[in-house]
Structure 1
Amino acid sequence: MAHKGAAFAQGLPDALNSFSPGLPLAVALSGGADSVALLVACAEKWPGQVHAIHVHHGLQAAADGFERHCVALCAQLNVPLTIQRVDARNATGESPEDAARKARYKAFRAAAQTGGAQAAIKDIAIAQHADDQIETILLALSRGAGLPGLAAMPQRWERDGITYHRPLLAVPGAQLRAWLVERGITWVEDPTNTDEQFTRNRIRARLLPTLEEAFPQFRETFARSARHAAQGQALLLEVAQQDLAAVGSPPVIKALQALSQPRQANVLRHWLLQQQATPSAAQLEQLLSQIAACTTRGHQIHLKVATGHVTRAGAVLQYTAAADKTG
C-alpha cells in the first residue's frame, strides 16, 4: 500500500540526492531490506567508493545466514565487505540492546580503521528509516522522556572520529522494500522482527497501522515535533554551557541558588553528564530540593545519582563515582 503522506515521504533516490557524505563511504549492512536497499543505492551513486561492514553479533542461529547473504550481495555488487564478529552478550545490569549497540560501534570503528584496500573510512551510513524514527519517538513518550529523547535519532552525528549518517529518515520502510522488489533484489528477514515480546515490534505491528488510519500524515507531523525537540535541546545545551561557566565546575551552591529552578536543573544535568552520570528525574528533583534547603554552613548533601553520589564539599557540590570493583 502506498504511503499516504506523500508530501513527506521520500523515495530512496530522492533521499540520496540530498545526501553528501565524505568518500569513501561505508554502509552498515545487516542483510535486511533497509540496509540492502541503502547499500545498492549508494554503490550505484558512488561506484568504487562504497564499502560494506557486516557485524556478526552471534546472538541467534540465523546470524550465519545473514552473513552468507551479505557476502553474496557484495560479490554481486563488486563492493568490498568487512565482516566483524563481536561478542554482544550483555553483562549483568546491562540491557541486551545497549550491549549490542556498544559492540556495533566498536566493530564499526575497527572496520573503518582498516578500510580494506581503500583509504581509512571517516563516514558510515546506517539504514534506519521513517518508521524506525516514529518507533523511537513513541518509545520516548512511553518512558516520559525529556527533549533529548523526544528529539529521537539525529540524521548526522560523530563518534570516535567517525561521522555517522541516517539518510533514510524520511523514507518509510515499505517504500524501501517496494524499491527492492521492483529491482528483483532479495534480502534476509530477521526472525526476531515479528516477535512481539519486543516493544518495538509491538509498536510496528499494532500502533503504526492504527496511526496511519487515524492520522495519514503522522510520519511527517511526528518528525516535525522531533525536529522542534532537537532545536529546543540545542538551545538548552547552550544555556547550560553558559550557566556552568558562571556557577563553576564543580558548581558553587550559592551561584546555583541564584538561578531559577529550571535553569538549576538544566545546568546540573549538564554538569552530571560531564561526570558520566545520567540522573533520573526523581534524583534531580531531590538534588534541587537539597540545594534549596542548603542555607546553613552545616547543611549536608549526600544523594545517590546514577552509580555515584553528589555531596557537599564546603561551598561546592562534588560528584564521586562508584568505585570500580572489577580490578
Structure 2
Amino acid sequence: MTTLTLNTSLLNSQSILVAFSGGLDSTVLLHQLVQWRALHPDVALRAIHIHHGLSPHADSWVQHCESVCAQWQVSLVVERVHLEDDGLGIEAQARRARYQAFAQTLLPGEVLMTAQHLDDQCETFLLALKRGSGPAGLSAMGESSPFAGTQLIRPLLAQTREALEAWARQHELCWIEDESNQDDTYDRNFLRLRVTPLLQQRWPHFAQAVARSAALCAEQESLLDELLASDLADCITSRGTLLLTPLMMMSGVRRAALLRRWLAGLNAPMPSRDGLERIWQEVALAREDASPSFSPRGVRGPSLSVTAVVGEVSRWAKRNYYPVVRVENAVDAACRIGFGSVNLCG
C-alpha cells in the first residue's frame, strides 16, 4: 500500500494543524500528510499534542510526539489542559478541553485535521442511537465541518482501522498505546471492544452500512436547513431573539425544528425533545406576570438555563462556560424569547 489512503480532495488548504495524540490513528494521518507535503512544498504543516494529565505516562507521550515530529520536521505545539469536573464524565470533559485548546492554537487560515476513521464513525452513530438522537445526531461526523472560524477536516473517515494498521506496518511506524482504551467502563470503549467486533463478524460490511445511514441522515438535515431557512429568518429579530407570533401559527413539529436550529446557531447545548416542548410551554407561553425558567437535566455540555420575565429575556449557563447575556429593552416575554448572543469562553 503506497498510495495515500486519506481523502486528498479535502486537502485544499496550504496551512494545516494536525491533532496528534501519538496513537496509531493520528500517527498514520501525520505520516501521510508529511508525504503529501513532500509533493506540495507550499503546505505548512504543524501538529498539536494535548497533555490531559490523566495518565502516569502522559509525560512520556509528549516526549514520543516530540521525537516523531522532530524526525519528520513538523513543528509541534504541546498544550496542557485542566479538566473541570462538571458531572458529565471524564470523556466529555477531556474532549471539551481538547477542542478548546485546538481552537485557541489555530492560526488565521489554518485548518484542523483529526484522525477519526470508519470504525470511529460507526461507534459515534451507535452512541447517538443509544441516546435516542434524531437525524442530526445520527449524522455522526462529517468529513468537513465548520470549527472555530475555519474547518475541521477528517480525511481518514472512509478508512477502516485495519487499513490504518496495514499502513503503519508497511512503513514501520511507532505509536503509543493509551491504556485507558482497554477500559470498557467507557461507553465508546465498550462498543469498540465488545459490540462492534460481533457486529462485524456477523455482517462484515456493517461499518460501511452505518456510514451510509449517517450520510443519509446528514443529507436530510441539510435539506431541512434549506427548507426552514426562510422561516427561521422571519422569526429571528435583530437581537437574535425569537418572535413568538409566527411560531404560534406553526405545527409543533415545525416549531421544534426551528427551535433546534435557533439553538444550534447560538452554539447552545441542545435540549431533549421533551426539553424543547418545556421551553415552549413553560417559558415562551408563560403569563406576563410569571418568571418562568427552564434548566434541563441530562444536556450534554454546559448546563443551560432559560428565563423570561416582563421586559427582559435572559439566558445563562452554570459555571460561566457561557457569559450572562441580557436583552435590554426587549418587548414583554409573551412576544419574544431569547438567549442573546453566546460565545464559548475559556
Length-normalised TM-score, structure 2: 0.78
The AA in structure 2 aligned to 1:31 is: G
Quote the residue 1:116 is aligned against: none
Shift of 1:62: 1.4
1:18 maps to 2:9:
yes
Distance in 2, Cα, partners of 1:301 & 1:261:
23
- Which of the residues 238, 249, 268 maps onto 2:226? 238
Shift of 1:165: 0.6
**Alpha carbons 2:118, 2:207 under 8 Å: kept:** yes
Higher relative contact order (CA 8 A, sep 6+): 1
Equivalent position SS for 2:260: helix
Quote the residue 1:84 is aligned against: 79
Instruction: Kindly report structure 1 stretches of 4+ aligned residues shifted beyond 4 Å.
Output: 287-292, 296-301
- Which of the residues 279, 293, 302 maps onto 2:292? 302
Quote the residue 1:108 is aligned against: 102
Quote the residue 2:323 is aligned against: none
Shift of 1:11: 9.2
Quote the residue 2:276 is aligned against: 284
Residue by residue, what CA displacement relative to the aligned partner does 1:170-214 show, whole Å, maximum 9, x if unpaired? Answer: 111121112111221111001000101111111011111111122
The AA in structure 2 aligned to 1:57 is: H
Quote the residue 1:72 is aligned against: 67
Aligned ranges 1:49-198 → 2 under 5 Å: 49=43, 50-87=45-82, 89-113=83-107, 122-198=110-186
Shift of 1:78: 2.1
**Alpha carbons 1:126, 1:166 under 8 Å: kept:** yes
The sequence identity of aligned pairs, in percent, is 34
Distance in 2, Cα, partners of 1:35 & 1:232:
31
**Alpha carbons 2:278, 2:294 under 8 Å: kept:** no
Equivalent position SS for 2:46: strand
Distance 1:302 1:238, change over 3 A: farther
Distance 1:53 1:12, change over 3 A: farther
303-312 or 258-267, which deviates more: 303-312
**Alpha carbons 1:272, 1:279 under 8 Å: kept:** no
Equivalent position SS for 1:145: coil
Shift of 1:82: 1.9
**Alpha carbons 1:30, 1:54 under 8 Å: kept:** yes
Residue by residue, what CA displacement relative to the aligned partner does 1:36-65 show, whole Å, maximum 9, x if unpaired? Answer: 011111101113532222111212111112
Quote the residue 1:5 is aligned against: none
Shift of 1:288: 4.9
Shift of 1:299: 9.5
Quote the residue 2:249 is aligned against: 258
Residue by residue, what CA displacement relative to the aligned partner does 1:103-124 show, whole Å, maximum 9, x if unpaired? Answer: 22232234333xxxxxx56112
Residue by residue, what CA displacement relative to the aligned partner does 1:216-269 show, whole Å, maximum 9, x if unpaired? Answer: 211221111111111111222234432223334444434222212211111122
Distance 1:29 1:248, change over 3 A: closer
Quote the residue 2:198 is aligned against: 210
**Alpha carbons 1:308, 1:319 under 8 Å: kept:** no
List gaps (5 residues or longer) in structure 2. Answer: 297-303, 310-331, 341-346
Distance in 1, Cα, partners of 2:104 & 2:242:
38
**Alpha carbons 2:8, 2:155 under 8 Å: kept:** no
**Alpha carbons 1:147, 1:232 under 8 Å: kept:** yes
Length-normalised TM-score, structure 1: 0.82
**Alpha carbons 1:32, 1:189 under 8 Å: kept:** yes
**Alpha carbons 1:12, 1:176 under 8 Å: kept:** no
Distance in 2, Cα, partners of 1:55 & 1:314:
44
**Alpha carbons 1:137, 1:151 under 8 Å: kept:** yes
The AA in structure 2 aligned to 1:316 is: C
Equivalent position SS for 1:91: coil
Equivalent position SS for 1:15: coil
List gaps (5 residues or longer) in structure 1. Answer: 1-9, 114-119, 322-327
The AA in structure 2 aligned to 1:75 is: A
Distance in 2, Cα, partners of 1:320 & 1:81:
39
- Give aligned pairs, total: 303
